[in-house]
Structure 1
């Protein structure tokens, strides 16, 4: 019982981490008293700094299982701050359509930002949403932690994920633009194709696919090779576990978020080790601004989201092992997905030159697969000098990638008008 063992370890070490957190605060207070206005006992102050830093590092070496706050309270629009509030537009068992509503009367293009369901919460796209808010009316797929969804709500697989995207687009109505980041690019393409084939008026006006595994046969990465290193039965036997008591989703089969995080940590173990060494040094030296940057990153990175077992296993099998979408074999509730049905949706694909999770070539494959879209409605961009996360966050996302995304959305709106 993998999850039960993890829960036991977490419960046993929780008092130690809580003690370290409180001790760090107490030592920090003592240190402040000794250091102001001038250190009376320098050696005591230095020892207190080291102890306070060690306590903080120990306290922060923990996982959390609740969604962090988006903290998108204000956004700058045309150089002026505008208040932002969160509103739940459509709440379903496994995810909520969340609206970042701006206190602004000016209409802007409506965007559905589709977040990955891959071990972290949708707040991982906080900065993506913040950038989009300057020129768009932004909604996001706020996925729930599967361990908090009662067993009575049934399964949630790749088909259900696609169902949610179709439902959310229908709630938002015609003229919505969809942006999918990483893993959901396959489901976003499937939803768009199904809606196009049904002549659904809510089919997206434009579809932006960012660093997504559309065709993993191209330039396979370490992630792709790992997914193909074992049969799907091995993943089910070794990585799936029932949620333990006392969580609401007790007995639900999940792929625990802590396993996904462990895999990510192992890919860059030395970098993460150095980050915590830097945190210790910054706190010890009183460099609180630098320490806060590391704190903010790991508050997000160490917040894990359990995946429904069916969704995880079907994604591994259909996206990474048998490549159903590019082979024309992907089905939705038994119905074959026909990408050639997409005609009226503009398509933008974005890749990062240094992406070691979804390599160059895997996302742009959508351009050829969507052969019925006219060439002038297709755009592709490879961003030099960025890895996976740089495609949707950071300076180059803001300054070089985002303007292209905005142009495709606004051009699609104008052509529709």
Structure 2
């Protein structure tokens, strides 16, 4: 059995006394009543202690905490409300206390790839002014008791379909990175069943639809190692200190180590810069880096079955573009997508989902009319910049909003509406929740 999780817990426990001493030292050298706190020496000691504390800290799940956002020139309070729940996910609506009432519904499917949904805080915030925004808040697998059962790729697709049925049929869905595959699979299954709740549009951003296109180091690693290596080296069991005791998971700290290793030089430089800012007394610059790493270093565990299925089906076997992906024993046929409009977004410098991997969705959906599809390649951005940052706010998001507006105009302008149809059953438990 892989004991990585137990060693991780032990290392955290052993570091606790050192953290206590370090925190006390940092406090002593940072309080204004200590004359040394006003010297370079005092700030150096305090900065070193802070970096040690942050390097050994266990980061808690961040909060969205929008408070207020500006909508149509005035500040509007935002309240989070849970509108749907299942063992491994909550669906959150960002309710606006005042402001426009009738705006397009947008379901943002956040990645289930180690980080929490709050990684998309900037994504959600950008659309709050123009859309009625919902987001999937995935649950840390280590907090879900074994009695709640498994969660695999089929369940993920079930969850997406259940949420679309709850919000549809006038909802637009956005899959950011990893969810691109289950989102397009869910839409294909709904279209194949002629489900009236199929979304009006789906926007896929930096997702691994066809990893044969411009393979990245992540794709090559999966191909070279094979699924047996990942099962042997990446899967461990939740220790007794957590509610999900004995559940097999891919732990967040292993996922984070992979993220960090891909750009280790950047992270070392960033922490060196933070140290220099603290020594120089530049609190504003240091605070920006604190905020980024508070988010980036907060990670969650994934169920082993979901992780291994994703690696095998998406990255090793590449079943979706080859036509072999199945959901509950039924083939996922992307050619069934005829009504749900498709927009794909890629980043020129994306080192996780290479250029062309997301765009491949258009080739796999041959029956969509040209006026219901669009592709955008954003120059000068990497994977993170596809859904966050200045260029996302000023260039990518306006294109997505315009696409959604165009699709709504087309659908609203269609002559007559299709007669209401009975929704085909999915899974009784999820259908009842939805």
Using the size of structure 2 for normalisation, the TM-score is 0.92
**Alignment of structure 1 residues 208-247 onto 2, 5 Å:** 208-247=203-242
Cα distance in 1, alignment partners of residues 86 and 14 from structure 2: 34
Contact 2:313–2:325 at 8 Å: present in 1 too?
A: yes
Cα distance in 2, alignment partners of residues 116 and 367 from structure 1: 21
**Alignment of structure 1 residues 238-387 onto 2, 5 Å:** 238-387=233-382
Q: Residue 103 in 1 paired to residue 97 in 2?
A: yes
CA RMSD after TM alignment:
1.3
Contact 1:350–1:381 at 8 Å: present in 2 too?
A: yes
Q: Residue 33 in 1 paired to residue 27 in 2?
A: no
Aligned with 2:135 (options 125, 140, 145): 140
Q: 2:48 matched to which residue of 1? A: 54
Which segments of 5 or more consecutive residues in structure 1 lack a partner in the other structure? 36-40
**Alignment of structure 1 residues 177-192 onto 2, 5 Å:** 177-192=172-187
Q: Residue 12 in 1 paired to residue 6 in 2?
A: no
Q: 1:174 matched to which residue of 2? A: 169
Q: 1:118 matched to which residue of 2? A: 113
Aligned residues: 409
CA-to-partner distance for each residue in 1:207-264, whole Å, 9 max, x for gaps? 0000000000011000101111212111111110000011000000000111111011
Mean CA deviation greater in 20-29 or 374-383: 20-29
Contact 1:351–1:383 at 8 Å: present in 2 too?
A: yes
Cα distance in 2, alignment partners of residues 248 and 66 from structure 1: 16
Q: 1:410 matched to which residue of 2? A: 405
3-state SS in 2 of match to 1:108: coil
Cα distance in 2, alignment partners of residues 64 and 165 from structure 1: 30
Cα distance in 2, alignment partners of residues 64 and 56 from structure 1: 14
Which segments of 5 or more consecutive residues in structure 2 lack a partner in the other structure? 413-434
3-state SS in 1 of match to 2:338: coil
Change (3 A) 1:241 1:252: same
Contact 1:346–1:408 at 8 Å: present in 2 too?
A: no
3-state SS in 2 of match to 1:229: helix
Contact 2:123–2:388 at 8 Å: present in 1 too?
A: yes
Cα distance in 2, alignment partners of residues 416 and 304 from structure 1: 40
CA-to-partner distance for each residue in 1:83-131, whole Å, 9 max, x for gaps? 0010011111101001111112521110000111111111110100000
